[in-house]
Chain A
Amino acid sequence: MKKSNKIFIPCEEANHNCDKSQYNEATLWEKIKLNIHLLYCRVCREYSKNNSKLTKIMKRKEVEIMPSSEKNSLKKAFQKELANHK
């Protein structure tokens, strides 16, 4: 993704900065440029708003995922069982 040193950035870059900031990977300068962009761009403002909401709900504790180690051992056990069914 190309980077500009200008204060005014295109939507594409604004969204990219917004995505990065959802994972705390945007630099201060990137965040400043994003916020300036949001001042005058309604479309990106909408994206930004939904993006932050998405981040928030993904962090809620009801959102569970099977731990990788468990998933791997399940996979192994299942493969073994599967072989018996062929």
Chain B
Amino acid sequence: MPEHEINPNRWIDKYSDYLFNYTITRVNDREMAQDLVQDTFFAGLKSMKNFKGEASERTWLVSILKRKIIDHYRRINSKKGKAEVRISYNSDAESEGDWLEERVADPFDKTAEDNLENSELGLAIHDCIDKLPEKQATVFKMKTLLGYETEAICNELNITPSNLWVIIHRARTMMAECLKKNWLE
């Protein structure tokens, strides 16, 4: 019985910020990061059948993203005319170029990454946001990261200001608790 299930319908809402944050610290170019994240989601869709459920969806998507980032650096490297390392990922030459989408399986480190505490602040924060109930996560993000006005959030989500502040309070309490050990001390 697989521990984790795969359901691409919610991928963008659930993982795009985390993956974006992961990418931007590694490629330092917003547009490129955007493209790589999109590529990752598409590749994930293509290789969904290989998902065995041993790692969480996110870990699995990150493992695809890692390859995408490596690919990205290989690409700029070869553009510069530097030596390009060709690695053959499988013996049959026909599927060359397709190695990633068709072949990505569960990562070797399985759930290790799920349990590991993130050493990057951006990722640690998204980790904690992901642990919040959905409504709290939405409101907290809008208010804190997107900087929306209280009134704008209330209108969009159809809640009263006092609702909003109760939600914010719960979210902030949980966020502080979640980040406490590694980031707030």
Chain A positions near chain B (C-beta within 8 angstroms): 1, 15-16, 19-20, 22-23, 25, 47, 50-51, 53-55, 57-58, 60, 62-66, 68, 70-71, 74-75, 77-78, 81-82, 85
Contacts and interface: CB of A to CB of B under 8 A. Distances in A.
Nearest to A61: B122
B41 A63 contact: no
Contacts of B184: 50, 53-54, 57
Contacts of B70: none
B179 A54 contact: yes
Given A54-B184, A57-B121, A64 B37 contact: no
Main secondary structure of the interface of B (DSSP, over half): helix
Interface string B116-129: 00001110010000
Contacts, number: 97
A82 B45 contact: yes
B11 A63 contact: no
Contacts of B41: 74, 78, 81
Interface stretch (B58-66, B83-91, B137-145): B137-145
A63 B12 contact: no
Given A19-B172, A58-B144, A85 B121 contact: no
B25 A81 contact: no
B169 interface: yes
